[in-house]
Chain A
């Protein structure tokens, strides 16, 4: 039985990483229907800026804070310089712009920082915690707690605050939102800043486990995107559940079937779920007024 528990803990560790990345997708998607493929780059920036700020002598919490603020600023710049000028363009074009932005950010990071792999120490040490014969690292608990906290804040934001509802309204119908007095430009800027900040926070939390380098963003974004699709795009609950489910699926396949088929098995399940429920597990059904 300790094996099962170890596989489960491994799955939760990895799943929490996916969930944190997936949560970052939700805000921009909710504000504009755009899947931001530069989200992985925000995660990478969170980790890389923290690494270099702490290497420059800053204490880790301050370095992490700087990383989150700097990444949020880059998110705002992305919106102002690339997305806003193309406002009239269809969603597909905007998605392609985010892919371009991710390639640009990756290249710039390579030049500004370096091409090596980096890591900073775990927040509460590396002493594994024993649970019924299986082990988990303290940093995994940080990641899980981070994912839950972000989920809870997003849930509050979208359901309990006026600005959160304004974000949803903007996505639903930009013109109508403007008519009722919502500053849609501001909403877009805010959603990019928040998404980037969540991405950077994810980067800060996961780097002691996954390590970071200029090119980790793409792989993280793909897994986070898969998790978000599985759970239902745009729904924080979906991102959380989708991420954890994907992680546990991978760990169970690696443990019980074969590590060779780990990724394949996860994607087969995702395809099967999307085949039966195209909106994902918790996705909103599209309702069009006739």
Chain B
């Protein structure tokens, strides 16, 4: 029943994509189909999460058994997916309308296709079909990333994305084959027998899965494709890619690990990987001057936090400690939700700013708070949530993870729990710096350039989705005790045999926490009213600024100076200053730039060198059809010979 809802939702999205392709003027119909699909899928996913029933469908397709299944884990990923693609569809109607020259229909077609493929990824339980859905997702994302392909940097980042995602797919093909050899079936079903630990073959399967899915999730050091791709795409696409598509990697890791017995120590390793990813991502976010790249790097950070949660869950599973497993997996899933909502909000906000000003440079903006008051108000919950500040939802999931780390500390005090607490605390602090920079230099102060002078708020079809997401960010925190039963359902898929631990163990504490958040908001509102009641001096002078009488907008602090205190610690920031000599120095220059430690600094020169070496193989490509037919013939003969020799050699 729930699965039927999801399937009909996919049908809606598919119909929407076909509609976009026909170039009929059905703008409203497209949005209607999208919203209908999102609504149907949300209904199905929510129902599954509340009741925890698994709905399944098996049929034969080309002689192979195919299985589609909707359980709590799938539903937990479909839920944020459909909220974001549904709202993104509305947002795009103004942001990237069908009438956009050349790319209007193109974007709408692939957007709806991406929504279909992503939904399919979450319900396919058979290796081959999963790979087909996965590829459909990757390819539609590739075309969306390359929307503005006339700009060279977009072209470059979309190619890097394509190569990375296919390298990941290569690992996934290996994974499907290995799983097939392990279980004797392409179907992904069944639970590991409780109490066992993984053997060598199963560990290899899990490692291949982690490698393949990490390419998609964008954890360090396989994140290098992410910032360019996510920053270069149109903003509503960036929202879907960052908020939801990265999570398909997380989903894959969780799904495969739920099929296999627990592996000891792997949880600790994943936690360290997550901690490094989180710190690296937030440090890079801090150094960005392109506000969309800043958001993209912050996604790397959040994937790190999710990985830390999964690592904790795996540790709990391996130790046979269901409470740790529940806290880890529950925190990870909650952060998947929270990140989906606040990150899509932030990308929608960034899109509004880009729409209004046409620049992605933090340097050129500022003072938008007066010119775009609705956007400013709507984006503030997202900014505070991503900095993990109460009373918004980002804090709640980090609180879950802290609870888990402290619980393991009190239980058997492993060294990694202390490291994880350290990493999470530092990440939180740095995220605060990065997003104070993001919000402060976009919306506050005076405009740094003419681009920001004449900005204005977008229409309701753009700000209403943002307002909805902002409200979700607030209510997921205030109503967090209500989410515990849903999280319990998901945890019971990932760590069987631990029913209802979260609702029983965290319910009281979380109610107190949300009560305190409500108190915080109420007292803040009271103080605001008290301040508004007082009289202020009617004339409004300029900022005092130590009495300087003629300040200009260019004298304000810049975004670069704001994060400069950290640049000494980060090898990614390269600064070139020409020394000032002599008493009357001439002109001097200052240049500072950012290089990703993995993508730009390490990988790019090596790839370039490899490409030069491989040039000598170019002579094989003559461009004559007859030569290619010859190649095929040679290959066939070689295979034929190998068959003969193999008979002889192996008996």
Chains A and B form a bound pair: no
